[in-house]
Amino acid sequence: MASDTFSTPQAASAAGIDPAAPILLFDSGVGGLTVLAEVRTLLPDAPIIYAADNAGLPYGTKTEAQIAARVAGLLGRMTERFRPRLVCIACNTASTIALGMVREVLEVPIVGTVPAIKPAAALTKTGVIGLLGTEATIRQAYVDRLEHEFAADRILLRHGAPGLVEAAEAKLSGEVVDFAAIAGAVDTLRIMPHGERIDTVVLACTHFPLLEEELSRAFGPGVRFVHGAAGIARQIARLTSGQEWSRLQPDRALFTQHAPVARGNREMLARYGLDDVGML
């Protein structure tokens, strides 16, 4: 479903852009694959580099200074190396903390994502919205501003759920999902004042849509989920409208540490069209 997104104000001019220049999708782990899937639908010919800072995972337990420095440093080096036509920060935590700094450094269009509070406020019937994110995301002033602007007449209940990041990573790796972590996150929201009336939940981490089936089971019937993947893909398509595409090599997945390849994740990545796996 649609969400709020950060982006540069205008689409990059098609003139002078190398057709083989990739879109660079960046996340702390595999959560950004939910965005990649939507981008594939709209831009099937776009060359993609998917970069995961799994050596820094999880972002949600780090300080704002640590996240900002890490994200800006990594994206600075990657844009110099890969010359992308556009960078997508497919991570709520990194976007709400580091986007401003990154925009000061990079000279390419940038799309980020923030919690989809605006569409959730429009959807809720009971007026009570749950928000699941990382610990770092839920405490950001930007989330406060979104709540004030779009959900001032709603009740927004927030919970930082780092265990869901681990569960999503495990699920994509073919491992057993720890349903206790999912049930625990849901129970924490439900026992908050008015939590029994939650009918709409913002999945404020790109990892979390991977667990929508499990979350739906834990919440029970009558709860809808809102996340930003489709909206981010539409913004990327808008910013690259009119540009030519040429895929000269297989799309790549790059990691900051070797573990995903060692765990046999190549098959999973190939399902997302990422046939070349390596390290940054």
Residues tagged active-site:
91, 205
E strand map for 161-234: 200-204, 224-226
**CA pair distance 156, 152, nearest whole angstrom:** 9
- Which residue type, as a one-letter code, is found at position 87? V
**CA pair distance 214, 261, nearest whole angstrom:** 26
Whether the bond between 58 and the residue before it is cis, its omega within 30 degrees of 0, is yes
Cα dihedral 143→146→149→153 (10° resolution): -70
**Helix-then-strand count for the chain, H and E:** 12, 11
SS3 118: helix
Q: Which two tokens stand for residue 193?
A: 């004042």
Q: Which secondary structure element, helix H or strand E, spans residue 187, and what is its range?
A: helix 179-190
SS3 198: coil
User: 198 with 169: CB under 8 angstroms?
Assistant: no
